[in-house]
Structure 1
């Protein structure tokens, strides 16, 4: 699995980090070459660090699965470069004056990659599957306000909400609300995905690669590359070598020093802004963390900047819970905005554990490169106040399965952000949220705040609500939010048309070509 090869010794590489940041910031936006001509028969090879095992859109949680499935499936809406909803399979909806009815008009002539028509019945089928608790859909919270769905014509979908929900369109832009065919069994989709995206499934070699080929019926236009191969390369230095030799065309790094070493006369680079956040998830449902003072002690004992400087090599920004640009949390607005060991010990005294306690923290090998180093940094910091941390480093699949089951006390995680705070967190911190078992924390106060946040589309009113919601989360140390990362995209110089988007989103990879 992909592990940070530089480890803690790399904290002395400050100058190299600065150099890398300047170098990588030199190429942003859309990759283009005025003299290149695209090869319509080319295969674009995308390097990823772990085998994506989730193939049903509504089950996706890992970044690698999202990267693959966003080539195969299309959601009803998509996002622009500012992460705002725009038309995709359907135009932006017409919304009734009371905010309870959304009417979507599908584009004409839509098809799935197997040649069958995509119509309103498929949209209704997909959303009702997601809404069914038995599906265990990661996106069920996105549709929590849906009361019913009508399909008055093959190109018309009418969604009736039980209450106004300002976040509803945002949830329809995610690949885990991607539309699936109603006449293909879910069991079949697990082995051979069928969507309406730019590419269609061609095959898998377990732990080696996933192959896709151009979908000639894609509604968005002709994809630039004839084929896309997602090649699994767990080791950072092997990924760097593959880029330099040209056996991989695109890879994404969260380590600036590694990204710098991948830059050569045969490659180019981009830096992507991020709404993601790295976090120490504390499950209040676990006995060792049930006392809020124990969680507050952990929050006060951790220097978030030290995690960035040590584990992430300076590549990140301290964050609070909400990273959405219009509603961003003030990272200083929390108990112990900076490390306060004295305060941490006071909280431990209140918790009845003045001499400390033992905390099991799981982390992943393969999902992202800094995970193990972050866990080790947290381990060292908490040790200063007598909290003994047992780090459990798991392979990516084992980590995901334990995470989904809520089978852990605490976890180092990198989670997706969103332009809408409700889309980010309702699934975690509402009592009926899809991932509330994973989060391990909810309260009547949070349930009310989440309800208030979607009841209006007024940005100023929503900001007031989400400021209160953020305060509720940090005052109870539901989790310890650490930092938002930076991501670095390194491409073969022959790649043109690649768009750098928030969180290195690759849903527009189909626009890229090889010359």
Structure 2
């Protein structure tokens, strides 16, 4: 596997500059942020989107009840305050009385109730549904007070509510069936125009309860790749950019006028196996794949070493040392023996899917894994798909293996309940569950003692790594680049762009 060439990248920049100029157009006013990214949103329904590109757009438009700050602390969003009952089975929120949707209507407890009832309705296909199954009923006590009655104590539910997939949407818009076509949130910006795979125009929400934004709006250009973004930034046509490719990001510090924002994130790169398909139905085969993969080589080659090898849990306060997990040191001989024990000494053929652009390293990761697994007789055919096709295929669980970049969370339960519980709404993506995983998840959900929760999730992580339904690879960084004239942006462990609500552009 050849390392991607910096020289080749630089030789493309002249072409990219012309293309970037054509896409960006004329400069906007000083009060409007000119932004670019290379991967557009795949949809506008905040309850159903899984692609990072969609979440990054929608988190500027919608708000959840609470959000995470840069230190992973829960802070107010639509809600001003919250409190659990003494027995942990009621969670009461007091809403910000100034919160309004972008159509001028107040955000009320009725909207909160309608939003979570929509999430819990299986017909919606909400991706975070599994995180909220303890909700037995919801009372809209008064316009600014809402009470969630829980069937059991549920420690991680508050963290789950910080996610964009738990955004509060208008009850009226739900009734109209307009959520996926007409975004009406309560966040800092309104979506004025969306030309898919071309541009988005956002304008400041003057009614945002969070206060005045530092800019009048954001004009987002969807450029063909990140070389074009870099070229446009070099010529001053772009103020701010979201980057995913470490090869491009590591070039930013060489530019006198540009600043790189780099923050470690909880999202993880992973090779997802499909344990419902032969021969991945065999534990020994899955374990052989785990033993045959050199995770550090994948990180170093595909991502220039920008990150660290990880186990399943990426939350710092819960994570286990990867060296203590099953077969995290590559052992090809052990892998060959496991293959032989399973009856596959001569190997087998399979297909691995990867998305274009999200992450940009996906194809490189697939090629490295292809080379490593060839040593134990596994012949991988790589199928690269456009992101929207990949997402649809992934959600159906219609793959042998998949190279993926999945989101993390400040709590292991809210991070993994949709995959590794028996009621998880993405079980058909995971295609594996056992009593041990489900039991540990349920214990971790109800346990209130932090030390006891850490032990529970350590056992969960070790068991998951040993069962090897997926092969966790590494965590990396979120990257944004900006002109020095842009001030006030801070990166976060969840890769959020919400901080754009407070940036300013100096003239």
User: Which TM-score bucket, shorter chain as reference?
Assistant: over 0.9
**Structure 2 match to 1:200:** 190
Q: CA deviation at 1:230?
A: 2.4
Distance in 2, matches of 1:117 and 1:476, equals 49
1:57/1:175 contact within 8 Å kept: yes
- By how many angstroms is 1:454 displaced? 1.2
The answer on 1:440 being equivalent to 2:434 is no
Structure 2 gap segments, 5+ residues each: 8-27
Following the alignment from structure 2 to structure 1, what is the Cα–Cα distance between the partners of residues 340 and 119?
A: 45
Superposed displacement of residue 94, structure 1 = 1.4
Residues 259 and 488, structure 1, Cα contact 8 Å, conserved in 2: yes
For structure 1, list consecutive stretches of 5 or more residues without a partner in the other structure: 1-6, 14-38
Structure with more relative contact order (C-alpha pairs < 8 Å, separation 6 or more) = 1
SS of corresponding position for 2:251: helix
Match of 1:368 among 359, 363, 367: 359
1:9 lines up with 2:3 in the alignment: yes
1:115 corresponds in structure 2 to: 104
SS of the equivalent of 1:441 reads coil
Secondary structure of the corresponding residue to residue 93 of structure 1: strand
Q: Which residue of 1 aligns with 2:64?
A: 75
Please tell me the root mean square deviation across aligned C-alpha atoms, in Å.
1.7
Partner of 2:210: 220
Deviations 1:7-57 (A, max 9, x none): 8333899xxxxxxxxxxxxxxxxxxxxxxxxx9962212222222122011
1:135 aligns with 2:124: yes
Does the CA-based 8 Å contact 1:254-1:485 persist in structure 2?
no
1:156 equivalent to 2:145? Answer yes
Q: What's the counterpart of residue 479 of structure 1?
A: 470
Which of 375, 380, 394 is equivalent to 1:384? Answer: 375
In the TM superposition, 1:12-161 aligns within 5 A as 42-161=31-150
Q: Aligned partners of 2:152 and 2:504: how far apart in 1?
A: 44
After TM superposition, the structure 1 = structure 2 runs for residues 329-340 of structure 1, keeping only pairs within 5 Å, are 329-340=320-331
In 1, distance between residues paired with 2:163 and 2:426?
Answer: 16
Q: Secondary structure of the residue that 2:79 maps to in structure 1?
A: coil
TM-score (norm 1): 0.91
Moved >6 Å (runs of 4+): none
Equivalent residue, structure 2, for 1:28: none
Q: 1:462 — aligned with what? A: 453
Deviation at 1:245, TM superposition (A): 1.7
Q: In structure 2, the residue corresponding to 1:286 is in which secondary structure?
A: coil
TM-score, length of structure 2 as denominator length: 0.93
Q: Are the equivalent residues in 2 in contact too, given 1:214–1:227 (CA < 8 A)?
A: yes
Question: Structure 2 CA distance, aligned partners of 1:379 and 1:162?
Answer: 46
Q: Deviations over 1:241-293 (max 9, x none)?
A: 11112222222334443123334222111211211110001111123311111
Q: Secondary structure at the match of 2:56?
A: helix
> Is it true that 1:242 corresponds to 2:232 in the alignment?
yes
> How far apart in 2 are the matches of 1:456 and 1:212?
42
Equivalent residues of 1:52, 1:65 under 8 A apart:
yes
Q: How far apart, CA to CA, are the structure 1 residues paired with 2:229 and 2:5? A: 22
C-alpha distance in 1, partners of 2:435/2:387? 34
Q: 1:117 to 1:487 in 2, by over 3 A?
A: closer
Q: Does 1:191 align with 2:185?
A: no
Aligned residue number for residue 178 of structure 1: 167
Q: Distance in 1 between matches of 2:371 and 2:236?
A: 40
Deviations 1:194-236 (A, max 9, x none): 0000001101112101111111110001111111122212312
Give SS of 1:289's match. Answer: coil
Distance 2:196 2:441 in 1: 41
Once the 2 structures are TM-superposed, how far is the Cα of residue 306 of structure 1 from its aligned partner? 0.6
Q: Secondary structure of 2:178's partner?
A: helix
